[in-house]
Chain A
Amino acid sequence: MTRPVLQVRGLTVRFDKNEVVRGVSFDLNRGETLCIVGESGSGKSVTSKAIMRIAKPGRIVAGSVLLRPDDIEPVDITAHDDDSAAMREVRGGRIGMVFQEPMSSLSPVHTIGQQIIETILLHRDVTPADARAEAIESLRRVQIPNPERAIDQYAFEFSGGMRQRAMIAMALSCSPDVLIADEPTTALDVTTQAEILRLIKRLQAESGMSVIFITHDMGVVAEIADRVAVMYQGEVVETGSVDDIFHNPQDAYTRKLIEASSKFTIIGDHDRGGALPSANPRTLLDVRDIDLTFRKTEGFLIRKVRENRALSKVSITLREGENLGIVGESGSGKTTLVRAIVGLLQADSGAAFYHRGAGEPVDLLKRGALRSLGLNREIRMIFQDPFSSLNPRMTVEQVIAEPLLMEKKLSKPQIRERVAELLDKVGLSAEMMSRYPHAFSGGQRQRISIARALAVNPRIVIADEATSALDGSIRSQILDLMFDLQAELGLSYIFVGHDLGVVRYFCDRIAVMRQGELVELGTAADICQRPQADYTRALIAAVPATRPADRHLIPKEGLA
C-alpha cells in the first residue's frame, strides 16, 4: 500500500508576471524515488525550490503542498511565510536538499563540519559536542574516508564527488522524510555519478526516506526512478511508473526525450551517425609522444617549483573525414591534449605532424608553426561553455567576422556576406547578425561558436566538450548540424567529451585517457563493447542505461 509523504496539488509559481510553474500536481510516496525530468527552463528546479519555500523572488500564487498528508496535522507548506519558524523547521529538518554544483554549494570559508553541525543544532536539541559526534557519524554514513579528519576540512580540499557526499551528509543529518536532489550528479564524472547514485539508493534503503530526483538525463532516470514526472514549459505533461514512461509514453514530448536519449546508447555494434569517412582515409594529423608538465613557481624569497605532469607520451592520429573522440574523467588531460595541439599550451616534447595536401607534413608543435603558415586557420576550436566563450560586448557579426578580419583577405561587404552565409549554414538567420550573444539561447550560441570556427574554412574542428552544457534535444540538434557540416565541407572532428554515449554516437574512434596517459584507442564499437583496459571497463560500466530494463548501476540485492 502506498502512502504519500508529500502531496503537491496545482502548484503555481510566479516570477514577476511570468508563471514559471503552472498547476503542477504529483504525489511522492513513502520510500520511493520520483524523478522530475525536463530540459532547462521547464520549471523542474523552481518546483523543488517552491516546495522548500526558497524560490525567491518567485511567489507561490496557487496550489497546495502537504507534508505527510495522512497525519492528523499535516504541514501545509503553502500556508506559511518563506522565513517563518514552521517553514524553517521543514527545511533541513523534514526535507533535505542537495544541489547541483558541489563546489559552490558549500561555503568556501567554513569547514564541512561547521556547516553540518550548524544544521543539527538548528533542528535538534543537542549539545555542540554531541552534534559534532553526529556530524562525524553522518560523514561516515556517506562513506567519506577518515571522517574525524574530514570534518575539519574545507570544501576546496575535497574532490567533486567528496563534496557531493558532504552535501548529502548535511542534507540527511536530521533524518528528513524527503530528500530533494536537484541535478546532484550533473557536474560529476560518470564514475563519480555512479557512486553518488548508489550512495543515495543505499541511504534510501536504510532510512526509508523518499527522494525527489531532478535531472535532465534520461539515463539517470532509467537507473534510479520508481516513478517519473515529465515537465515541459512549467507544466507536468506526464506522470507514471518508470516502465510506463520508457515503454509506453503517452505525451509527444516524453517520446521526444526518450528518443533523443536512446540515440546515445553505447550498446551495440552500430556505426556512428552522419556520413562515414571513405574506406582508406589519409592520415591528417599524427600526434606523437606529447609530454606536457605544468610548472608553478611559488615563494618570493625561497623559490619552489611545483610540477604537475599533465600529459605523458600521448600519441593519437586523426584521419581525413574521421571523428576522433577523446574521453576521460576530469583531470585526465583530454583538454590539455587538444590545447597543446592548437598551440594554446606549449608541449615540452613530442610532435604533431599535420599533413596539408601534397608536400611534407608540418610539425604543429614547433614554435610559431601554426601562426606563420596560417595553420591556425585550418584547425579551429569550439569550446564548452556557450555563455562565456562569446564576448558579450561584441555583436554576432563581430564575433564571427573576427577571424576573417585577422585574415585581411576580404573587404567589409564581402565579410558581411560571408557572415550571413555562415549563419545560414548553422541554421540561424542573417538578420540576427546585429544582436548580442545574450539574446540567444545556449544552443543558438553554440551554433554561433560553430559559425565562428567555420569562418576561415578549417579542415579540422576541435570540439572541447562542445555539447556538454546543452540539453538533450538541443545536443542532438547540434551534433546533427556538425554531421551535416562534415558532409558538406569535408571536415574532420576531434571531439572531447566525458559523456560516453554522446562520444559513441558521434565518433569513429575513441581514445580513452587517464591521468595524462592514453589508456587505449580503438573503434568506437570496440571501445564500448570490447574494452581492453580495466579503466575503460570501469568507465563503460558507470554509464547509465538508456532503458530501465538495462539497469546495472545499482545492485538489486544486498546494497553495498
Chain B
Amino acid sequence: MLAFVLNRCVTMVAMTLALSFVCFFIIQLPPGDVISAYAAELAAMGDTSAHDIADELRARYGLDQPFIVQYLKWIRNILIGDFGHSFNLNMPVADIFASRIGLSLLVESLAIIVLWGFAIPIAIYSAVNRYSVGDYLATVLGFIGIAVPNFLLALLLMYVIYLFTGAATEGLFSAEYANARWSLARIWDFLTHVWIPVLVIATGGAAQVIRTLRANLLDELSKPYVMTARAKGMPENRLVLRYPVRVAMIPLVATVGWVLPTVISSSIVTAIVLNLPTLSPILLRALLSQDMHLAGALILFMGMLTLIGTLISDLLLAWIDPRIRKGMIDG
C-alpha cells in the first residue's frame, strides 16, 4: 500500500508539471496580453508614452520573451515560492491566495458537506422506498435544484431575506467584521452569512448525487448478498446501511477527487452575485484580463486539488472496497 502511495506521488509530480505547461499554454493562446490592456487604458487617458511604458513593462516581466522561456521562468519561480505578480490587482499572487484561499476552501467544503449530508440520506430513503411519495418528492425537488440556476436562487434568497429583515446579505461578513481578527462574535457573524452560499451551492449538486446514489443502491438492493443478510435476521435498516449502501457509495467516492475543483469553478456566478471573497470571482477576472500569473496559479492550484483529491478518493476506495485494495497491493 505504501508502495502504491509513493508510486502515485511520483506520478503526481510528473502530472503537475505537465498540467502547468498546459495551463500556461492555454492562457497565452489568445492574442494580446495583460500589458496591452493596461497600455490601452493609459493611451485612453491621453498618455502618449503608453507604448513605451508597455514595452518597458514587457521587458521587465519577460513578456517579450519566447513562450517557452516565459514558462520556464514561471515554473522556476513557483518552485522557489514566488507565484508572480498580478498586474490586474497589482499585488503578488501569493498575497491574493493567502487572503482568499482559507475562506474559499471553508465555504466550498461546507457546501460539499451540506450537499452530501442531505443528498445521501435522501438518496437512501428514495431507493429503499422506491416510488413512494417521498421518493417522488425528492426527485422533483432535486430536479428543481438542478434546473434553477444557482445565481438566481442566490438572488431570490437575498431578496426574501431583504424583505423580511430589511438587511442586505452579501459577502461572508458584516462590514464591521470584514477585516477584524477571529473572535466568537466574528464566527457567529460568519455563520449568519455563510449559510446562504452554502445552501445555494449545495442545492445545485444535490440532485445529481441523489440520482446517482439512488440508481446504484437500487441495483445493489436486489443483489443476493442483501437477501443473505436478511436471512441472518439482521434488522432491515441496519443491513441496508451495512451492506448495499457501502457498495453503492463506491462510484460516488470515486468522484471525490474532482468535487472541490468542480465546486470552485461552478460557483463563480454565485460568488459574484453574493460578493464572496473566495477564489472563484478572482479566477474569472484573471481569465478575462489574461492576468497570466494569477490565472496560471489558480488553474494549477485547481489541478493540484484534483490530483490530491483523486489520490484521496483512491485511498478511500481502497478502504471501502477490498477488491480495489488487493489490486493496489498486487499492482
Contacts and interface: CB of A to CB of B under 8 A. Distances in A.
B230 A54 contact: yes
B235 A156 contact: no
B233 A300 contact: no
A439 interface: no
Contacts of B331: 298-299
A115 B246 CA distance: 14
Given A122-B234, A298-B331, A105 B321 contact: no
B225 A107 contact: yes
B233 A106 contact: no
A105 B227 CA distance: 8
Nearest to A120: B232
A89 interface: yes
23 contacts: A52-B230, A52-B231, A89-B233, A92-B232, A92-B233, A92-B234, A99-B224, A100-B224, A105-B224, A105-B225, A106-B228, A107-B225, A108-B321, A109-B321, A109-B322, A109-B323, A115-B228, A118-B232, A118-B234, A154-B323, A156-B322, A170-B228, A300-B11
A104 interface: yes
A92 B224 contact: no
B223 interface: yes
A186 to B, nearest CB: 13
A92 B231 CA distance: 6
User: What interface size band does chain B fall in?
Assistant: 20 to 34
Nearest to A116: B232
Nearest 9 A-B pairs (CB), nearest first? A92-B233, A91-B233, A92-B232, A88-B233, A97-B231, A105-B224, A104-B224, A119-B232, A54-B230
B180 interface: no
Interface in A112-161: 115, 118-119, 122-123, 154, 156-157
A88 B232 CA distance: 8
B235 A88 contact: yes
Interface string B231-263: 111111000000100110000000000000000
B146 interface: no
Interface residues of A, number: 40
Contact of A91 (B231, B321, B323, B330): B231
A83 B227 contact: no
B7 interface: yes
A101 interface: yes
Contacts of A157: 326
A108 B228 contact: no
A167 interface: yes
A171 B230 CA distance: 12
B18 interface: no
Interface string B295-331: 0000000000000000000000000111100100011
A99 B227 contact: yes
B229 interface: yes
Interface of A: 49, 52, 54, 83, 87-93, 96-97, 99-101, 104-111, 115, 118-119, 122-123, 154, 156-157, 167, 170-171, 298-302
B233 A122 contact: yes
B15 to A, nearest CB: 11
A99 B227 CA distance: 9
B234 A301 contact: no
Interface string B99-127: 00000000000000000000000000000
A110 B232 CA distance: 15
A301 to B, nearest CB: 6
Given A83-B235, A118-B234, A156-B323, A105 B228 contact: yes
A369 B323 CA distance: 40
Classify the secondary structure of B's interface with A. helix
A89 B234 CA distance: 9
B10 interface: yes
A99 B228 contact: yes
Contacts of B7: 300-302
A109 B247 contact: yes
Nearest to A301: B7
A157 B330 CA distance: 13
Nearest to B325: A154
Interface in B190-237: 223-225, 227-236
A90 B233 contact: yes
Interface in B8-61: 10-11
A107 B243 contact: yes
Contacts of B320: 109
Nearest to B246: A109
Contacts of B229: 107
A89 B232 CA distance: 9
Nearest to B249: A109
Contacts of A90: 233
B129 to A, nearest CB: 12
Contacts of B230: 52, 54, 91
B233 A104 contact: no
Contacts of A301: 7, 10-11
Given A108-B247, A118-B232, A119-B232, 16 more contacts: A49-B227, A52-B230, A52-B231, A54-B230, A83-B235, A96-B231, A107-B229, A108-B323, A109-B246, A109-B322, A118-B234, A154-B322, A157-B326, A170-B228, A299-B331, A301-B7
Given A54-B227, A105-B224, A107-B225, A170 B233 contact: no
